[in-house]
Structure 1
Amino acid sequence: MNETAEDLNYDCNYNMFVAKTMLPNLGKPDDRQKAVRWMKKLATCNRSIEEMKLRNDFMYYLVVNIQQGELQPPFTEPPPASPLPDIAHLLPGGVTQVNLDEWGDKQAKEGAKPPMLYENSPDGGAFLAAQPVPRCGAFCYLAVVAREAKE
């Protein structure tokens, strides 16, 4: 997805508003102070698009923690002074590099292989390639073909 800085900042500001609104969900005053420190740290993380995306990931998990009423790591500790890329491993699940093939799927060891639907398509997938396909969710394709009857 090609997100602009404006889109990323909008998402961050929205999550910041949600987090501030729900701060009373955190029962401990110490947790509220830690959450505010994290929000201040994240508000300064906007030097690059990649950093902004990572910032938004942290913001999302912070909002989830605040909604649940309890902070989970890494938010149980004050934010570190280091830049976000250096602390990306703190996010749930860590940061893993995944190679995506030309179809947007995890690359197989034998290299990029088109989906079976493309392989079995009479036009080699040319029609399908021009259609919008969601990254997640369902995709349904129905084709009706009329053929002349053989005599």
Structure 2
Amino acid sequence: MIPKFFNKKSESQVYSLTPTKGKSSSLHLTPIKSSKSSTSISQEEVEVDPIYFEEFNEWLSSSISLIKEDVEPCLTFTNAELASKILDSIKKNTLEMEPCLNETIKICELTKMEKLCPYRLKKEMENEWVYISLQARNRITAVCDLLTYLRYLQNGYRRYAKSD
């Protein structure tokens, strides 16, 4: 899903989101000159509402509150030590997770409850796999998706929704 500041027009000016040259982790706004004869914008330019973009930048720059408010609650499990190591692995992009053909009830290493654990993971290239439940896997992948999306934004990658 594209954040709400994309494809919104400001009353006074329309801006394009572009990466700053020489700084791979920062973005800046470039004004788009409006032309009454041309109403289409090339795929290289994305309209950005400057107010929403500024709010987004403030939110993005306060990554400590992002982690505390949005990520940590999602990774709150009985086994807090393992959850912390998983978060570190996600940040370093070294977490491995895969489905396993396991039809027996096991103890989920994160919740410490007996459940069907159709997934397993290992962190930091360790040899030891730990089994996790579907619910634990869904929460971990939500965090992975969020942090990956934010990495893409910081590096200037953009996803375009095809509007046909």
TM-score interval, normalised by the smaller of the two chains: under 0.3
Name the TM-score, length of structure 2 as normaliser: 0.26
For the pair shown, the structure with the greater C-alpha radius of gyration is: 1
Name the TM-score, length of structure 1 as normaliser: 0.28
- As a proportion of its length, which structure holds more helix? 1
- As a proportion of its length, which structure holds more strand? 2
